[in-house]
Structure formats: C-alpha cells, structure tokens
Amino acid sequence: MSGYVPVCDVADLKDLQPRATVVDGEPVVVVRVGDEIHAVADKCSHAEIPLSEGTVEPTGKISCWLHGSSFDLRTGEPDEPPAWEPVNVYTTALIEEAGNQRVAVSLSPPNERES
C-alpha cells in the first residue's frame, strides 16, 4: 500500500477524540466517528489553529475552538464563518502491522485513493 503511513493502532483511536499526527511532514488530525475513520489537515483554514484542539460532533464535524467554524470530516467544507475555505481531506485505510490493526493515512484526497 504505497503512500499510506501508519499513524496509530485502531484500538488507540477513541470515538470523537481527535488525534494529532504528522504524515510526510504535514500536520494531520485523525478522527473516529462511529465506524468511520477520517483524516483532515490539522490546520484551520481561517487562522491555522490546530483542529485537533477542537471538538468532534457525532454528526461528523470538527470544530475550531478559536472562532467556532466547523468542518465536515468527509468533505473538508466549513459550515459557518469565519472560515470560508475547506481543509484538505485525506485517505485512510486499515492495515495489519506486527499483529496489530493500524490506521494508515495517505495525503491523497479520497477521490484519488488506490484500489
């Protein structure tokens, strides 16, 4: 699976608790929402605050603590000002590594993911 970087064990990713990581030099926040695992840029598009310091809603949005914009974890689109630009959305996969199920992230957007 080229391009995928393991970032944590699946068991360590708690529901609705953002986890900050770095993939190929880029800050990334990984989030589990129920059965879905998402990865987006860990930088608010308004003023570059880490989104991993914000809160995650069960509806699949992550909120920036500084001014309150929320971003859809599937599309990266903000739902309210002051942020107007989307954040990058990345592709996640589950891989086996040393007997553990791991979350891996590729900086490719989901529509360019490998099969």
Cis peptide before 18 (omega within 30 of 0): no
Check binding of 70 to ligand FES (CB under 6 A): no
Check binding of 83 to ligand FES (CB under 6 A): yes
Rounded Cα distance, 28 and 21, in Å: 5
- Return the ∠ at Cα 57 (arms to 97 and 63), rounded to 5°: 95
Smallest distance, ligand FES to C-beta of residue 65, A = 8
Number of residues interacting with ligand FES: please give it, by CB under 6 A.
10
Sort 25 into a burial class: Cβ within 10 Å, 0-12 / 13-18 / 19+. Answer: exposed
What mask of x and - would describe binding to ligand FES in positions 20 to 59, judged by CB under 6 A? ------------------------x-xx-x----------
Residue number, 82 or 86, with CB nearest to ligand FES = 82
Structure token pair of residue 48: 């570059």
* Chain positions contacting ligand FES, by CB under 6 A: 44, 46-47, 49, 64, 66-67, 69, 82-83
